[in-house]
Structure 1
Amino acid sequence: MDWERYLAPAAMALSAMPVFLIAGLVRGGRLHLVNGLDASRVRDPERLARRLGALLAAVGFSVLLGAAGLAWAGSDEARVTGVVIGLLLAVNGLAVALILTVARARRVDDQGQRPGSRSTRR
Protein backbone atom coordinates (compact mmCIF):
# COMPACT_ATOMS: atom_id res chain seq x y z
CA MET A 1 0.00 0.00 0.00
CA ASP A 2 1.19 3.52 -0.81
CA TRP A 3 1.36 5.18 2.65
CA GLU A 4 3.01 8.36 1.39
CA ARG A 5 -0.24 9.20 -0.40
CA TYR A 6 -1.99 9.52 2.97
CA LEU A 7 0.74 11.44 4.81
CA ALA A 8 -0.53 14.96 3.97
CA PRO A 9 -4.21 14.13 4.70
CA ALA A 10 -3.23 12.51 8.01
CA ALA A 11 -1.15 15.53 9.04
CA MET A 12 -4.03 17.80 8.07
CA ALA A 13 -6.51 15.75 10.09
CA LEU A 14 -4.19 15.86 13.11
CA SER A 15 -3.92 19.63 12.78
CA ALA A 16 -7.71 19.88 13.27
CA MET A 17 -7.53 18.37 16.75
CA PRO A 18 -6.29 21.55 18.52
CA VAL A 19 -9.16 23.45 16.92
CA PHE A 20 -11.65 21.01 18.48
CA LEU A 21 -9.90 21.37 21.85
CA ILE A 22 -10.09 25.16 21.69
CA ALA A 23 -13.73 24.99 20.54
CA GLY A 24 -14.59 22.90 23.60
CA LEU A 25 -12.76 25.24 25.94
CA VAL A 26 -14.42 28.32 24.45
CA ARG A 27 -17.84 26.68 24.56
CA GLY A 28 -17.16 25.96 28.24
CA GLY A 29 -16.78 29.67 28.91
CA ARG A 30 -13.10 30.43 28.37
CA LEU A 31 -13.70 33.37 26.09
CA HIS A 32 -10.25 34.80 26.81
CA LEU A 33 -8.89 32.28 24.28
CA VAL A 34 -10.58 34.33 21.55
CA ASN A 35 -8.50 37.48 21.20
CA GLY A 36 -8.41 38.03 24.98
CA LEU A 37 -12.18 38.58 25.14
CA ASP A 38 -13.29 39.42 28.69
CA ALA A 39 -16.46 37.48 29.60
CA SER A 40 -17.32 39.96 32.35
CA ARG A 41 -17.57 42.73 29.75
CA VAL A 42 -20.00 40.89 27.46
CA ARG A 43 -23.74 41.10 27.98
CA ASP A 44 -24.51 37.41 27.36
CA PRO A 45 -21.25 35.43 27.68
CA GLU A 46 -22.93 32.00 27.62
CA ARG A 47 -24.62 32.69 24.31
CA LEU A 48 -21.42 34.14 22.84
CA ALA A 49 -19.42 31.12 24.08
CA ARG A 50 -21.89 28.72 22.43
CA ARG A 51 -21.77 30.63 19.15
CA LEU A 52 -17.98 30.90 19.07
CA GLY A 53 -17.58 27.26 20.10
CA ALA A 54 -19.88 26.16 17.28
CA LEU A 55 -18.00 28.27 14.73
CA LEU A 56 -14.64 26.93 15.89
CA ALA A 57 -15.96 23.36 15.74
CA ALA A 58 -17.14 24.08 12.19
CA VAL A 59 -13.59 25.14 11.31
CA GLY A 60 -12.31 21.83 12.71
CA PHE A 61 -14.86 19.84 10.70
CA SER A 62 -13.94 21.81 7.57
CA VAL A 63 -10.30 20.87 8.03
CA LEU A 64 -11.25 17.22 8.59
CA LEU A 65 -13.38 17.24 5.44
CA GLY A 66 -10.50 18.84 3.59
CA ALA A 67 -8.20 16.05 4.76
CA ALA A 68 -10.71 13.45 3.57
CA GLY A 69 -10.97 15.32 0.29
CA LEU A 70 -7.22 15.27 -0.18
CA ALA A 71 -7.16 11.53 0.51
CA TRP A 72 -9.91 11.10 -2.09
CA ALA A 73 -8.17 13.36 -4.63
CA GLY A 74 -4.95 11.38 -4.55
CA SER A 75 -2.59 12.61 -7.25
CA ASP A 76 -5.29 14.05 -9.53
CA GLU A 77 -4.33 17.73 -9.76
CA ALA A 78 -7.83 18.91 -10.71
CA ARG A 79 -9.36 17.20 -7.68
CA VAL A 80 -6.66 18.50 -5.35
CA THR A 81 -7.23 22.03 -6.68
CA GLY A 82 -10.97 21.71 -6.11
CA VAL A 83 -10.50 20.45 -2.56
CA VAL A 84 -8.01 23.20 -1.72
CA ILE A 85 -10.26 25.94 -3.12
CA GLY A 86 -13.25 24.54 -1.23
CA LEU A 87 -11.24 24.38 1.99
CA LEU A 88 -9.94 27.90 1.45
CA LEU A 89 -13.46 29.28 1.00
CA ALA A 90 -14.90 27.36 3.95
CA VAL A 91 -12.20 28.23 6.48
CA ASN A 92 -11.96 31.88 5.44
CA GLY A 93 -15.74 32.24 5.46
CA LEU A 94 -15.86 30.83 8.98
CA ALA A 95 -13.02 33.15 10.01
CA VAL A 96 -15.07 36.13 8.82
CA ALA A 97 -18.07 34.79 10.77
CA LEU A 98 -15.88 34.51 13.91
CA ILE A 99 -14.61 38.06 13.51
CA LEU A 100 -18.10 39.44 12.98
CA THR A 101 -19.44 37.50 15.97
CA VAL A 102 -16.79 38.94 18.26
CA ALA A 103 -17.24 42.44 16.82
CA ARG A 104 -21.03 42.32 17.26
CA ALA A 105 -20.91 40.97 20.81
CA ARG A 106 -22.74 43.42 23.02
CA ARG A 107 -20.36 44.94 25.49
CA VAL A 108 -21.16 46.27 28.95
CA ASP A 109 -19.33 48.81 31.09
CA ASP A 110 -18.27 48.36 34.72
CA GLN A 111 -21.81 49.05 36.00
CA GLY A 112 -23.31 46.30 33.83
CA GLN A 113 -24.81 48.64 31.23
CA ARG A 114 -24.16 48.84 27.54
CA PRO A 115 -21.71 51.60 26.59
CA GLY A 116 -23.44 54.41 24.77
CA SER A 117 -26.85 53.81 26.29
CA ARG A 118 -28.76 56.79 27.66
CA SER A 119 -28.11 55.83 31.28
CA THR A 120 -24.34 55.94 30.75
CA ARG A 121 -24.22 59.21 28.75
CA ARG A 122 -23.85 62.53 30.47
Structure 2
Amino acid sequence: MKKTLWLIVAIMLLATFSDHPTIKPYKEQLYALFSESAGQASQVHGEQVLRTISARFAAFSGELGQKQQEELKRITSDKTELLAFYQAYCVEKQFNPLFFGHTQGRICDVIAEFERGMR
Protein backbone atom coordinates (compact mmCIF):
# COMPACT_ATOMS: atom_id res chain seq x y z
CA MET A 1 0.00 0.00 0.00
CA LYS A 2 2.86 2.36 0.84
CA LYS A 3 4.51 1.71 -2.52
CA THR A 4 1.32 2.63 -4.35
CA LEU A 5 1.00 5.82 -2.34
CA TRP A 6 4.60 6.80 -3.13
CA LEU A 7 4.06 6.04 -6.80
CA ILE A 8 1.00 8.31 -6.86
CA VAL A 9 2.95 11.07 -5.08
CA ALA A 10 5.83 10.72 -7.54
CA ILE A 11 3.46 10.94 -10.54
CA MET A 12 1.76 14.00 -9.07
CA LEU A 13 5.14 15.70 -8.47
CA LEU A 14 6.25 14.87 -11.99
CA ALA A 15 3.03 16.28 -13.43
CA THR A 16 3.37 19.42 -11.32
CA PHE A 17 6.97 20.18 -12.31
CA SER A 18 6.98 18.77 -15.84
CA ASP A 19 7.21 22.23 -17.42
CA HIS A 20 10.31 23.08 -15.41
CA PRO A 21 13.22 23.94 -17.77
CA THR A 22 15.46 21.17 -16.40
CA ILE A 23 12.82 18.43 -16.82
CA LYS A 24 11.18 19.56 -20.06
CA PRO A 25 13.80 18.14 -22.50
CA TYR A 26 13.53 14.70 -20.91
CA LYS A 27 9.74 14.88 -21.04
CA GLU A 28 9.86 15.69 -24.75
CA GLN A 29 12.23 12.79 -25.43
CA LEU A 30 9.95 10.40 -23.58
CA TYR A 31 6.94 11.73 -25.46
CA ALA A 32 8.71 11.22 -28.82
CA LEU A 33 9.65 7.67 -27.83
CA PHE A 34 6.09 6.81 -26.83
CA SER A 35 4.70 8.40 -30.01
CA GLU A 36 6.98 6.32 -32.19
CA SER A 37 6.09 3.12 -30.33
CA ALA A 38 2.38 3.89 -30.57
CA GLY A 39 2.63 4.40 -34.32
CA GLN A 40 4.32 1.03 -34.77
CA ALA A 41 1.79 -0.67 -32.52
CA SER A 42 -1.15 0.63 -34.53
CA GLN A 43 0.43 -0.65 -37.74
CA VAL A 44 0.76 -4.12 -36.28
CA HIS A 45 -2.80 -3.88 -35.02
CA GLY A 46 -4.01 -3.18 -38.56
CA GLU A 47 -2.22 -6.27 -39.88
CA GLN A 48 -3.64 -8.38 -37.07
CA VAL A 49 -7.14 -7.16 -37.83
CA LEU A 50 -6.68 -8.03 -41.49
CA ARG A 51 -5.65 -11.59 -40.56
CA THR A 52 -8.61 -11.89 -38.19
CA ILE A 53 -11.05 -10.75 -40.87
CA SER A 54 -9.51 -13.24 -43.33
CA ALA A 55 -10.00 -16.04 -40.80
CA ARG A 56 -13.64 -15.02 -40.24
CA PHE A 57 -14.23 -15.02 -43.99
CA ALA A 58 -12.61 -18.46 -44.29
CA ALA A 59 -15.12 -19.79 -41.78
CA PHE A 60 -18.04 -19.26 -44.16
CA SER A 61 -16.30 -19.11 -47.54
CA GLY A 62 -16.87 -22.85 -48.03
CA GLU A 63 -20.51 -22.01 -48.71
CA LEU A 64 -19.52 -19.60 -51.50
CA GLY A 65 -18.57 -20.13 -55.11
CA GLN A 66 -15.04 -20.06 -56.47
CA LYS A 67 -15.27 -16.50 -57.87
CA GLN A 68 -16.67 -15.25 -54.57
CA GLN A 69 -13.83 -16.92 -52.65
CA GLU A 70 -11.27 -15.35 -54.99
CA GLU A 71 -12.86 -11.94 -54.48
CA LEU A 72 -12.74 -12.37 -50.68
CA LYS A 73 -9.04 -13.22 -50.92
CA ARG A 74 -8.44 -10.19 -53.12
CA ILE A 75 -10.16 -7.71 -50.83
CA THR A 76 -8.42 -9.10 -47.73
CA SER A 77 -4.99 -8.91 -49.36
CA ASP A 78 -4.62 -5.24 -48.44
CA LYS A 79 -6.08 -2.87 -45.89
CA THR A 80 -6.91 -0.21 -48.49
CA GLU A 81 -8.78 -2.75 -50.64
CA LEU A 82 -10.82 -3.86 -47.65
CA LEU A 83 -11.69 -0.30 -46.63
CA ALA A 84 -12.61 0.57 -50.23
CA PHE A 85 -14.90 -2.46 -50.40
CA TYR A 86 -16.48 -1.54 -47.08
CA GLN A 87 -17.07 2.06 -48.14
CA ALA A 88 -18.56 1.16 -51.51
CA TYR A 89 -20.70 -1.84 -50.67
CA CYS A 90 -21.47 -1.54 -46.97
CA VAL A 91 -21.69 2.19 -46.33
CA GLU A 92 -22.87 3.46 -49.72
CA LYS A 93 -24.87 0.26 -50.41
CA GLN A 94 -23.78 -0.06 -54.03
CA PHE A 95 -24.76 -3.22 -55.90
CA ASN A 96 -22.09 -5.92 -55.94
CA PRO A 97 -22.65 -8.62 -58.58
CA LEU A 98 -20.73 -11.26 -56.58
CA PHE A 99 -22.02 -10.57 -53.08
CA PHE A 100 -25.61 -9.58 -52.47
CA GLY A 101 -28.30 -10.17 -49.92
CA HIS A 102 -27.41 -12.26 -46.89
CA THR A 103 -23.81 -12.90 -48.04
CA GLN A 104 -23.02 -9.22 -48.42
CA GLY A 105 -24.63 -8.56 -45.04
CA ARG A 106 -22.40 -11.15 -43.36
CA ILE A 107 -19.29 -9.71 -45.00
CA CYS A 108 -20.23 -6.16 -44.00
CA ASP A 109 -20.95 -7.28 -40.43
CA VAL A 110 -17.50 -8.84 -40.10
CA ILE A 111 -15.74 -5.79 -41.53
CA ALA A 112 -17.82 -3.39 -39.40
CA GLU A 113 -16.86 -5.31 -36.27
CA PHE A 114 -13.17 -4.62 -36.91
CA GLU A 115 -13.39 -1.33 -38.79
CA ARG A 116 -11.96 0.77 -35.97
CA GLY A 117 -8.76 -1.32 -35.93
CA MET A 118 -8.28 -0.78 -39.65
CA ARG A 119 -8.06 2.99 -39.57
> TM-score with structure 1 length normalisation?
0.34
- Between structure 1 and structure 2, the one with the greater Rg is 2
Structure having the larger proportion of residues in helix: 2
> TM-score with structure 2 length normalisation?
0.35
